[in-house]
Structure 1
Amino acid sequence: MNLSQKEWAEQLKNDANAVILDVRTEEEWNEGFIPNAVFNDIYKGQGFIYRLEELDKTKNYYVYCKAGGRSGQACSIMNQMGFENTYNLEGGFMNWEGEVAFEE
């Protein structure tokens, strides 16, 4: 399901069962990410799938990339794998106005 930036942030804030998933490249991740996000580069192909298989399918996943395209694909893949609740951030990280974290 696609959510606007505002809907995504508000729903996330009130979701005790949420996991934030960043599917960008490592290079993009190093430029900053949404706090508490889990990193899983969608371009890793089978590696991406293996990492998804390790995740708890009962959680609610808030997925983002740079612009919203890759995260939309990731949500589709996750839904096919049996993840019930995936939320794509429309406009992606480049339009994110919330907090940003960096690797220490």
Structure 2
Amino acid sequence: MPGVPDISPQETWEALRNDPDATLVDVRTDAEWNFVGLPDLSEAGKQPVLIPWQLYPSMQVNGAFTEHLRKAGLTPASKVYFICRSGARSLAAGQAAQAAGFPHAYNVADGFEGPVDTEGHRGQIAGWKASGLPWRQR
């Protein structure tokens, strides 16, 4: 298995806008979706698919994750871009998806908020928000 490639937020956005088979799966928790915000894909005519990789508050891995991908209508032909806060959970989710028969899994590099800056804040250096891509509060 070749592994899950890291794709920049900008390349992800272009794929979502131009490829009807491209889907963004946000694997963060309900709390993150509610309090941090979500990618806004309305300009691409899409919505992010919200499936947590870990369940809040225990942060136990979601044992039904790949089943939820199928229930969301994703197939082996789908190009699935996984995003989390900074790129770690989404990489694990992409690996699980590949192992479950979704060969076109991609990790959005630096996630939604990216790494912390010198002041300890996220969303400024890299990632979806820092790249100036559309997002909204829930």
- Tell me, yes or no, whether TM beats 0.5: yes
Q: Hey, what's the Cα distance between the residues in 2 that align with 1:32 and 1:74?
A: 20
Q: Which residue of 2 aligns with 1:100?
A: 135
Aligned Cα root-mean-square deviation (Å): 1.5
Where does the alignment leave 5 or more consecutive residues of structure 2 unmatched?
Answer: 41-46, 56-61, 114-126
Structure showing greater Rg:
2
Match of 1:72 among 87, 91, 95: 91
| Deviation at residue 73 of structure 1 after TM alignment | 0.5
TM-score (norm 1): 0.88
How many aligned residue pairs are there?
Answer: 103
| Percent identical residues | 30
Q: Hey, what's the Cα distance between the residues in 2 that align with 1:67 and 1:56?
A: 23
Q: Which residue of 1 aligns with 2:31?
A: 27
Q: Hey, what's the Cα distance between the residues in 1 that align with 2:50 and 2:33?
A: 8
Q: Which structure's residues are more often helix, by fraction?
A: 1
- 1:31-50 matches, within 5 Å, as 31-35=36-40, 36-44=47-55, 45-50=62-67
Greater relative contact order: 1 or 2 (C-alpha under 8 angstroms, separation 6 or more)? 1
Where does the alignment leave 5 or more consecutive residues of structure 1 unmatched?
Answer: none
| Deviation at residue 92 of structure 1 after TM alignment | 0.5
Q: Hey, what's the Cα distance between the residues in 1 that align with 2:66 and 2:10?
A: 29
